[in-house]
Structure 1
């Protein structure tokens, strides 16, 4: 399977609160996870690490997860992660209020189940199209969905990064969990907002399609974002759907 994960601190942060990872379970099924932490005293890094590692370790221990089971597995595991982070934040003053975005994808040979909380995104990319599979849980994302802001206005809005949902900041969360067909699609991309704050969807599609392999494509995406200043941490997981068989 042709897949890569890259993260970069960016130029204006003193540490990296992003965490991205992928894993195969005992029956060679694939889970991709990307998180972007938040909170003082480096607590965002703690939250994103807990969230990502918890999902990865739970999935690694599983056997075959059928397509019918994927939605419930994601819902239960993300709520378990939320409880872990919330309880820890309540017991440690330095970590109080910490949280993280979370985007996870279980990939099958003909479809993908995607779950998200926050503004870490999942995209499906083909030669002629890029489709954002997730909805941004942000103040600006709400305004866009209600027709009050255009895409261009949203990109420049001073409150574009204010989250309306995150993992670990409240006792209960309700992740979006959606199913998409992978038929006629070439790539799946998970990325934090450090990338999408700097690059347009069309730029992401163009660079991904023009590169010879996913690692090269991911490096080029990161490099372009860095060339534009990259004020935030930025992270990518990129999967080439054409490169191998999935269970």
Structure 2
């Protein structure tokens, strides 16, 4: 842990948009923006199932805001609270849709943490056991191939590589990820992807089977291996981050990240200081690049707290 990076008081401000895109008939993406939680959900499933799944996901996550605001001094959630809320969203989607649909979820949550959080994201990658024998040419039903035995083996490996937290309560951020919606951070003008896609092609990249460029252009790049409400695996990746004043975060669905390179995203976030304008320009750029999917984008700035009454 970097001793020179100390926790500081902060607040978050955001702007976000969703767009149906140029190829889809309906918009299954949903966004959530509040004082303590921001989220993007990208629904999947036909006949309105994707819309229901993504809406249930953001509505369930929003309930944490209600709990936080019940007292005069805002009570921030801890990581276990976030984990329970994501599980509740998964349960509600499964009950409502009976496996007919699911959704990704990428969320940034203000929390009280038991460690200062990571100043850089360098978590070890645990390669899922189903990746090595997976063939995109033979079978594209990825989630159905994940057996309970495979899932348990993967969870055991992740648990073995997890770092134990230092017991200390400090204000931090929790980045939550299930699926292939993404979270990025712009710091000192440089963009970093903070989440790792739960997708077949990303797991093949991690296993060294294909390159990043091949993954970006792969015909099955949108096949996800983890989702809320569908399949055997819905456990979120949760990373505790230590924010700095002037950091800028981006949450987006693959309708944005699939159309724009990181260089383009970085350039827009650096150029447009106004977060609302940055979110609009990102959305417009994704449309101009093809708009092949629904687009969801939230730009979040880390600010010094307003102490005026």
Decide whether the 8 Å contact of 1:79 with 1:172 is kept in 2: no
- 1:65 Cα offset (Å): 4.4
Determine if contact 1:86/1:171 at 8 Å carries over to the other structure. Answer: no
Unaligned runs of 5+ in 2: 1-11, 112-169
Aligned residues: 234
CA distance in 2, matches of 1:185, 1:154: 32
The equivalent residue for 1:165 is 226
Q: Paired residue for 1:192?
A: 253
- Note the C-alpha offset of 1:149: 2.3
What's the RMSD between the two structures over aligned residues?
Answer: 2.1
What's the TM-score once normalised by structure 1's chain length?
Answer: 0.88
Does 1:43 find its partner at 2:46? no
Structure 1 counterpart of 2:197, from 136, 140, 164: 136
Of Structure 1 and Structure 2, the greater helix share is in: 1
Task: Decide whether the 8 Å contact of 1:86 with 1:170 is kept in 2.
Answer: no
The DSSP-based 3-state class of the residue aligned with 1:111 is strand
**TM-score with structure 2 setting the length:** 0.71
Distance 1:246 1:56, change over 3 A: farther
CA contact (8 A) 1:37 1:47 kept: yes
Deviates most, 102-111 or 195-204: 102-111
Q: Check the 8 A contact 1:17/1:233 in 2, yes or no.
A: yes
| SS of residue in 2 equivalent to 1:73 | helix
1:103 corresponds to:
106
Indicate the residue corresponding to 2:166 in structure 1. Answer: none
Deviation at 1:173, TM superposition (A): 2.7
Deviates more, 1:12-21 or 1:145-154: 145-154
1:71 partnered with 2:71: no
How far did residue 184 of structure 1 move?
6.3
Residues 192, 234 of structure 1: 8 Å contact kept: yes
**Partner Cα distance (1:149, 1:78) in 2:** 31
Q: Which has the larger radius of gyration?
A: 2
Q: CA deviation at 1:80?
A: 0.5
| Contact kept in structure 1, 2:227 and 2:233, CA below 8 Å | no
